[in-house]
Structure formats: C-alpha cells, structure tokens
Amino acid sequence: MITYSVKRLLSGAALLAVLSVITFFALRLGTQGVAQQIAGQSAGPEAVALIEERYGLDRPLAQQFLSWAASALTGDLGRSWFTGQPVTEAVLSRLAVTVNLAVGSVALTGALGVLLGALAATRRGWPDRLVQVLSVLGQAVPGFVLAVGLVLLFAVQLRWFPATGYTDPSDSVGGWIRSLTLPVLALAVGSVGGVAQQVRGSMLDVLRRDHVRTLRSRGLPRRRVLYRYVLRNAAGPALSVLGLQFVIILSAAVVVEQVFSIPGLGPVALTSTARGDAPLVMGVVLVTGALVVLVNLLVDLLQAFLNPKVRLS
Amino acid sequence: MSTPASSPGLVPRLLRHPLGSPALVFVVLAVAVAVAGRWLAPHDPTATSVALVMAPPSAEHWLGGDAAGRDVLSRLVVATTYSLAGGMVVAALAALSGVTGGLAAGYFGGWVDTAGAWLTALVMSAPAMVILLAARTAFGPSLWLSMAVFGALISPVYYRVVYNAVRAVCGEPYVDAARTSGLSTPRIIARHVLLAVRAPVILVSSGVVAAGIGMMAALDFLGLGSPSTPTWGQMLSEGFYDMARNPLLVLWPSLALGLTMVALVLLGNALRDELEGTSAPAPDGRRAPWRPRSEEPPRVIEHGDADERPVLLSVRDLAVAYPRGGGWTTVVHRSDLTVRRGQVHGLVGESGSGKSQTAFAVLGLLGQGGRAVAGSIVFGGQELTGLDEARMNALRGRRIAYVPQEPMSNLDPAFTVGAQFTDPLRVVLGRSAKEARRTALDLLARVGIPDPERVYRSYPHQLSGGMAQRVLIAAAVAAGPDLLIADEPTTALDVTVQAEVLDLLRELIDELDMSVLLVTHSFGVVADICDHVSVMSDGTVVESGPTRSVLAGPRHPYTRELLAAIPRGNPRPPLEGARP
C-alpha cells in the first residue's frame, strides 16, 4: 500500500514536471517582446535592457527555466511581470474560492449521481429516463449556458439568489451558501448525468454477479444486498468518473466564475493570459495541474481502499 | 468483416429511431443554414441602426434588434456558420491526431503504446480551459488556433476508441495471415484496420463536434473571439450584460447553441444504438411467454421406490423462461422432482440441460428477468411460485440453503470472509455480533479450516478454491436448513480437493439431518453420495428413481447414453482413505 501510494505520487510529480517544461518554453516563445511592453512603447533600449536584466530575461532560456524550477520547488513561483506581486500569493489567495466552488460541485454531483444511478438501476422507470435526459443535457449544454439560464430565472426574475459576487464564509456563512448555490448548481447539473449513468451501469453489472445471488440465498433482503454489497462493488468505476468530472468542472469553473463575477482563479487566468504575464500564467497552470494530480491521487487511494486486492498487494 | 457504418439502410434506420430522426433532421437543417447563411440572412449582421437598438420583434426584424442596433435574426443565422465551422475544426484535428496515434499505438505496441498511454494521461489531467488560455499567450490570440489546440486536447477520445478497435482487430487470424503472407504494414492498416475503426470514429465524432461548438462559445463568451465576427457565444455574452433589460437577447443564442448540441449528442446516441444493435425493444412483461410444446414429451420414467419418508420438495411441470431480444427463450420445459426428508437427490444432466435453472427456480433466484412461467414448486406444504418477496426471503437461508459451483466468484471480493459470513447471521437470524462471530468461527473449524481466525479476517482473493468452497458450505449450513441445494459443488475444484469436499458434505448431511438437491453432471458423484437420482435432458426430467436402480437398469435412451459415455461404465472407485 505504501509503495503503491509512493508510485502514484511520483507519477503525479513527473506529470507536473513535464507540464511545467512544456508550458514554460511555449510561454517564453510567445512573450518575446514583453520587456518592451512592460517598459512601455516609448521606452528606449536602455530602459528595456534594464527590465530584461531585472527579470533575468537576458539569460539563456534553459538557465531561466532551471532557476525558476529551483525556486518553484521551495514554493516561490516568482513575481508577476506587470504587478510585481509574488505569484504564489496571487494564486493561493484566489485558489480557495475556486476550490470551494469545485469541491461543492463535485460533492453535489457525487451525491445526486449515486442516488439517481442507484434508483435507475433498481427501479428503472422514471429515474432511468431522468438519468438519460440528464446525461444528454450534461454532454450537450455547456455549464456557462446553464449558469446564464439560472441567473436569468433565479436571480433576475425570482430574485432568490444574488446574481453576482462571492461572500466569504468568514463574513457570513448564509451569504456564502447563497452566493455559491447557483454556480455550484450550474457546474453540477452537467456532471450528474455522466456519474449517474456510470453508477447505473456498474450496479447492473454487479447485480449479475454470482456473489450477489449467493448473498441473497442466505436470506439477506434485496435492499441490504443492494446498498451494502452491490453499491460498494460498483463504487470503483463511479469514483473514476467522478475524478474525470473534477477536471471538467475545474475547466468549466473559469467561465462560470466570469458569469457570476466570482473572484477565483478564472479571472486571474484571463487577465494574466491576455497580458502575456508569463510567470502568473505558469503559476495558474502549475497550481491547477497540482490540484488535478492531488485529486487523482485521492481517487487512486480511495480505489485502493475499496478494492482489497490493490490495498493488500 | 462487414462494416456496419457503410451498410445500406443506416440513414433509413436512423430516421425510424425515435430520437435519431428529429436529431438528424435538425443537424441537417443546421448544416444547411451554416452553408447558406450569408444568403439566408435577411439583413447585414454587422450593420447598425439607431432605430433598431433594443427594438422589439417586428415584421421587418423578426427577432428585433440588439443593444448595438443590429438585426438579431441575421446575426443568429450567420453565427451558425462560424459555430459549426469551429466544431468541425476541433473534430478534424482531434480525429487526425487521435486516430493516427491510436493506429500507431495499437498496431505497433511496445514503446509507442507506452508513450501514447502516458501522453493521453497527461492531456486528460490538464483542465482544458486553463491550457487553452495559456496557449493563447504562447501562440497568439487566434480563435481558430485555440480550436486547434482544443482539438489536440480532446483527441484522447479518438485515440482510445481507435486503439481498442485496432487491438481487437490485430488479434484476428486474418490480420496475422496478411502479415505472414508478406503484405506491407501500410497496406494491412489501410485494408483491414481502417475498416474496423470507421464505425467507432463516426460514433465519437458527433459528440466531439458538439464539444468543439461548446468550447468555442465559451471562449467567445469570455470575450476572446473577434468582435467583428458574430458567434453564438459572443451574442450570449453581449445579451448577458443587458439581461435585465431584454432577456430575449440571451434566449435566442442559448436556444441555438443548446438545441444544436443536444441534436448532435442525440444523433451520436442514435448512431450507437443502430451501429451496436442496442435498440432492441424490451419484451412485453404482461404477455404469456410460454406455450407447451406441441409434441408432449413422454412422462418421466419412474423406477419403483420403497422410500416412504415424507415429501419435502415437490416440483411439478416446471417451465422457466428468460427474456431474449424481443421475446422469451424457454430453458426449462418440464421439470419434475420429488425430494423427501433426509434424501440426497442427484439431478444429473449435460451442461445446458436446465438443471441449474431448476435449482435457481426453487431458490426463487432466477437472474436477469428469468421467470418460472408454468408449473408448481411446493416446499414443506407451501407453494413457492408466485410467492411474494418477503415470504420467499423468510425461507431462503433459514430453511433452504445454497452452495454454488464456482467458489471464488461467489464470495464478495470487497468484504472479508467474516463480514459476509456474519452479516446474514445477524440480519436473518438476529444473532448479536459476538454470537455471530463465534458461530462463524465454530463452523469454519467444523468444515476443516485449519486456522479459522486467519480465514475469518481474510479477503476472498487470499483463499484457495478449496478453502473458499469450505467457507461457502459452512455459511450455507449455518442456520441448519431443511433443504440444501448444491449446484455442482465440486466441479471447479482440484481432483484431490473434490473428494475431500464430497466427504465433508456427506458428514454434514448425516450430522444436520438435511435433504439435499445435488446438481451435477457426474454419475460418479451421484453414485458416491446420492440415494436418489433424476436425469434431465434438454429442459425436461426424463428418468427418476433410486440411484442403484437407475444405474443398474437405465430405461430412457438418454440415461443409457450418459452412462455409456463414462469410461468403463462404472462409477469412480472411492479414493484411498476417503471413506471412514
């Protein structure tokens, strides 16, 4: 189990390393004339050279990368070219908001997905049709379109929830929940169908297995077999899908944050990429990448917990 | 191999599909609008007029004007071209890289395969939107370039399906034959492999086009598109800021975007149904599925029987059917059995003769929609066919128990032996956790498990087959049942273990005073342990009687054949030391 975890951790680290290398060099290719831009269009060559020296842009690219990577390992991701703010600080201060949003959406997706999927597998009928409709909607309607629809209905017409903005839980827990309700819904509705479909499929698959019949032959009621044994065996594939949905939700959150004016990582990603603020873009890419790697690791560990064959080998 | 994608009649079949036909019609319409958009649009989509600012719908301008005074309908129509083109760019690029990669990895294997798997893992773990934004900084702010990058990001979808298809095809004998006959690799790929991946690629494409359209709209919504080209995403974004004043400005582009994407996804689902044959209608549950065979088979040949013990289980004229395709398949036509108290009754026949199905029918555990469609099963004076779930449950585990054939697949892999052993004891028999644990450990020791404590804590995959079968036998007899149904209990085991398990069964039968219905294909087992035997052939019980009488004088031709098929025609002599 320990070797397994270490292996997964190392492969995640390798993934992040490759991601950093590709992003770093691609970004530097795209931001060649940035020193002039920072200095201003009217600045002379001396001023530009000064900027280049200050940001280390005059050194060979490989050397720049190595020094960036060395300080990145200590948690220092450099400073923004345009605001001078430390990148680690700029990214981490916004990360919590996005994580709130994504974790809330994934939790709602998981809860509803398992519930609907289990109902669809055992009762068929209306839950089955609902799951099918939801999975088509989830594949077809982008989260931000749903978000716009939700704002139109619940914020503009009914005025039940605020249309925009984010309230920190330290200010008001009620306000925090109210400000997150619509964005979380917009992100979750798209993912519920996929998870429910997977839960339904793997439950139907497990229901056909021999050990389910044997447990029933000992007189265990159908319900207990379903919710204790079948669900536990079906949880693995469902968890994998939920992990994939996290990546999709994280991606969709950038646009949904824009719809609701939520100060998460989305706006940072937008402004930094528009300006060509390479250190900040690197920071956003690396931190979201690390988040995904972390979630995948968590999924792998949970899988191992659910599957004794993996856990005990 | 026939390629389902190119088989004639796919379009007619799609048109008959309940959701496929409207989806196909919508997609064809959308494509037509996209192609002819410039000429269809009633006005110039970029011309502004003060009179049109936020104008309500009129005869001249059907959908009114937007905040800049432009005709909404014209913008919507022209935007179709750009949106569909964006989706096509994504699909084309994704298909190009994904199919090539999948072909190479699947055909060559080795390090190409490893590299492909790693690369797809890398791409899949990157949040697409963040990468797209970063790519804009690196490669420039062109929307088309962003769509190309998104194509690369979504290409694992193609990679996977092509990789799997190629892997399946490369195992086929005709590809090996082509290889050994000296055909070059490109020709094999062109002739055999591309043919196989065509259907899955078409299937995936409609979803990818939809995803591309959605992503393009998202980028436009974020204001990353070109302000001079009207797109649905841009219209949504503009409408969103004037939502309080005119909600309709958001509605039209949302509808266009949503309906197009839903149509594409539904088209993909309908294609899957038709290409993979998953659209078969479910059987009608109310229709009586079973009719007696026109030629009534002769009645069961009964040997004279001196057994006067009371009858415990009586199966009469039982028929069992399963839903298949659109109708029902009968697997048991007429099963007749009488099991008396204390009797060990062998039910013997070839595989597929319906003996296991008869056993499951008695347990009330026919899987996958199977049903006892005719006849009766009377157990201890109670009719079991049509008995409700709660009453049947009260019998299972307490009075009727079951030992399965394949020990490993019959233990739940996710739970310890102890957990799945004691759960029924507590739930069904109402024992406390402590009592259940003691009962389980005693029984595990009783069935000859050397270290009950260790096995109790073990997971099924840590046990040998023989050990697992002992666990299953112990769990089955825990409640002291009247009837034990054992379905080929020794077939899956090693020969030496078989004899041990049979001996264990024999001991338990004597000790617990149970009746046993022993399903087997082996007359050796019958001769060894059964005092009565019924022979089953093609879903019908043909001969029944005391073991000695049937073995010495088989009367039905099928029984004679079965007995003649045994080497030397004699039951297996008992192993050294197997009998006490």
- Check if the beta carbon of residue B14 is closer than 8 Å to that of residue B25: no
Size of interface A-B (CB pairs under 8 A): 217
- The whole-angstrom separation of Cα A265 and Cα A254 is 7
Q: Closest Cα of chain B to A280: distance in Å?
A: 10
pLDDT of residue B276: 66
Going by pLDDT thresholds of 50, 70 and 90, the confidence category of residue B580 is very low
CA distance B455 to B442: 12
Give the pLDDT score at B287: 47
Taking only the tens place, the pLDDT of each residue in A2-45 is: 787 888 888 888 888 988 998 888 888 877 777 777 777 787 88
| Structural element, H or E, at residue B342 | none
Contact B236 A222 (CB under 8 A): no
What does the pLDDT read at residue B560?
85
Cβ A293 vs Cβ B122: under 8 Å: no
Asked whether the beta carbons of B244 and B260 are under 8 A apart, the reply is no
Span B507-547, pLDDT tens digits: 888 888 899 999 988 888 888 889 999 999 888 888 888 88
| Closest C-alpha to B375, from B348, B401, B347, B354 | B354
State which residue of chain A sits closest to B141, comparing Cα positions. Answer: A274
Residue B155 in this model has a pLDDT that exceeds 70? yes
Whether residue A220 contacts residue B424, with contact meaning beta carbons closer than 8 Å, is answered with yes
d(CA A4, CA A305): 12
Contacts of A29 in chain B (CB under 8 A): 138
Residues 6+ apart with CB under 8 A from B131: A285, B149, B153
Element (H, E) at B374: strand B371-379
Pairing of strands B540-546, B301-302: parallel
Secondary structure letter of residue B396 according to DSSP: B
Please tell me the distance in Å from B477's CA to the nearest CA on chain A: 10
CA neighbor of B271 nearest in space, from B327, B224, B181, B208: B208
Among candidates A300, A299, A288, which has minimal Cα distance to A102? A288
Q: Which residue of A has its CA nearest to B429?
A: A219
If you average pLDDT over residues A147-172, what whole number do you get? 82
- Return the structure tokens found at B50: 């003060």
Per-residue H/E/C for B146-159: HHHHHHHHHCHHHH
The packing angle between helices A173-207 and A87-123, to 10°, is 50
Give the model's pLDDT for residue B563: 83
What stretches of B172-231 show up as alpha helix (H) in DSSP? 173-180, 185-188, 194-221
Residue B283 has pLDDT above 50, yes or no: no
**Two structure tokens written together for B497:** 């273990």
* Secondary structure of residue B320 in the 3-state scheme: strand
Q: Is the pLDDT of residue A60 over 50?
A: yes
Task: Identify whether the C-beta of residue B107 lies closer than 8 Å to the C-beta of residue B170.
Answer: yes
Q: Which has more confidence, A209 or B17?
A: A209
Taking alpha carbons only, the member of B307, B264, B271, B281 closest to residue B90 is: B264
With an 8 Å Cβ cutoff, are A141 and B262 in contact?
Answer: yes
**3-state per-residue secondary structure call for B525-542:** HHHHHCCEEEEEECCEEE
- Contact between A311 and A304 under an 8 Å Cβ cutoff? The reply is yes
- Are the beta carbons of B138 and A215 separated by less than 8 Å? no
- Enumerate residues 6+ apart whose C-beta is below 8 A from A183: A101, A105, A147, A253, A256, A257, A259, A260, A262
**Mean pLDDT throughout B160-166?**
86
Whole-angstrom Cα distance, residue B267 to residue B208? Answer: 12
pLDDT at B5 over 60: no
Q: Give chain B positions within 8 Å (CB) of A232.
A: 414-415
Chain A residue with CA closest to B246: the answer is A152
User: Which of A141, A215, A259 lies nearest to residue B261, judging by beta carbons?
Assistant: A141
Of the candidates A136, A220, A258, the beta carbon closest to that of B423 is on A220
Q: What is the mean pLDDT of residues A265-282?
A: 89
Q: Do A244 and B133 touch (CB under 8 A)?
A: no
Give per-residue burial for A265-289: e unless 16+ CB within 10 Å, then b: bbbbbbebbebbbbbbbbbbbbbbb
One-letter amino acid at B341 equals R
Q: Give the pLDDT score at B459.
A: 92
Give every CB contact of residue B59 below 8 A, 6+ residues apart in sequence.
none
Rounded CA-CA distance A279/A83 in Å is: 11
pLDDT at B4: 44
- pLDDT tens digits, residue range B491-509? 878 888 888 888 888 888 8
| pLDDT for res B570 | 56
How many CA atoms are closer than 13 Å to the CA of A56, on its beta-carbon side? 13
The pLDDT of residue B92: 93
* CA–CA distance, B422 with B437 (Å, rounded to integer): 6
- The winner for highest mean pLDDT among A141-145, B347-351, B451-455, B569-573 is B451-455
Q: What is the mean pLDDT of residues B473-485?
A: 90
- Among candidate residues B252, B266, B272, B264, the one with its CA nearest the CA of residue B88: B264
Write the CB contacts of B322 (distance below 8 Å, at least 6 apart in sequence).
B328, B329, B331, B366, B368, B369, B370, B371
Complex ipTM: 0.84
Q: How confident is the model at residue B231 (pLDDT cuts 50, 70, 90)?
A: confident
Chain center to CA of A206: 29
pLDDT(B113) > 50: yes
Give per-residue pLDDT as tens, B361-377.
Answer: 999 888 777 888 888 89
Mean pLDDT (chain B) is 83
* Residue in chain A nearest B395 by alpha carbon: A219
B396 closest CB neighbour out of A142, A217, A293: A217
Smallest CA–CA distance, residue B526 to chain A, in Å, is: 24
Compare B580 and B52 and report the one with higher pLDDT.
Answer: B52
pTM exceeds 0.90 for this model: no
Q: What is the mean predicted confidence (pLDDT) over B551-563?
A: 84
Mean pLDDT score of chain A, rounded to an integer? 86
Q: Quote the CA–CA distance of B80 and B324 in Å, as a whole number.
A: 45
Cα distances from A310 to residues A242, A268, B89, B413, in angstroms, run 20, 40, 42, 11
Beta bridge partners of B321: B330, B371
**Which chain B residues touch A129 with a CB distance below 8 Å?**
none
| Secondary structure of chain A in HEC code, one letter for each residue | CHHHHHHHHHHHHHHHHHHHHHHHHHHHHHCCCHHHHHHCCCCCHHHHHHHHHHCCCCCCHHHHHHHHHHHHHCCCCCECCCCCCEHHHHHHHHHHHHHHHHHHHHHHHHHHHHHHHHHHHHHCHHHHHHHHHHHHHHHHCCHHHHHHHHHHHHHHHCCCCCCCCCCCCCCCHHHHHHHHHHHHHHHHHHHHHHHHHHHHHHHHHHHCCHHHHHHHHCCCCHHHHHHHHHHHHHHHHHHHHHHHHHHHHHHHHHHHHHHCCCCCHHHHHHHHHHHCCHHHHHHHHHHHHHHHHHHHHHHHHHHHHHCHHHHCC
Are residues A219 and B406, on separate chains, in Cβ contact within 8 Å?
no
CA distance A232 to A305: 11
Facing B139 at nearest CB: one of A30, A214, A217: A30
What integer pLDDT is reported at residue B288 of this predicted model? 46
Kindly state the tokens that stand for B186: 């490109």
Per-residue pLDDT tens for A87-122?
A: 999 999 899 999 999 999 999 999 999 999 988 888
**What's B53-107 look like in SS3?**
CCCCCCCCCCCCECCCCCEHHHHHHHHHHHHHHHHHHHHHHHHHHHHHHHHHHHH
Task: Give the integer Cα–Cα distance in Å for A118 and A203.
Answer: 7
Residue B282: is its pLDDT beyond 50?
A: no
Q: CA B352, CA B332: separation in Å to the nearest integer?
A: 10
Q: What pLDDT was estimated at residue B527?
A: 86
- Adjacent-strand bridge partners of B314: B338, B378
State pLDDT tens for residues B6-58.
444 677 777 777 778 888 888 899 888 888 877 877 777 777 777 777 777 77
Tell me chain B's radius of gyration from C-alpha atoms.
Answer: 34
Query: How many other C-beta atoms can be found within 10 angstroms of the C-beta atom of residue B484?
Result: 23
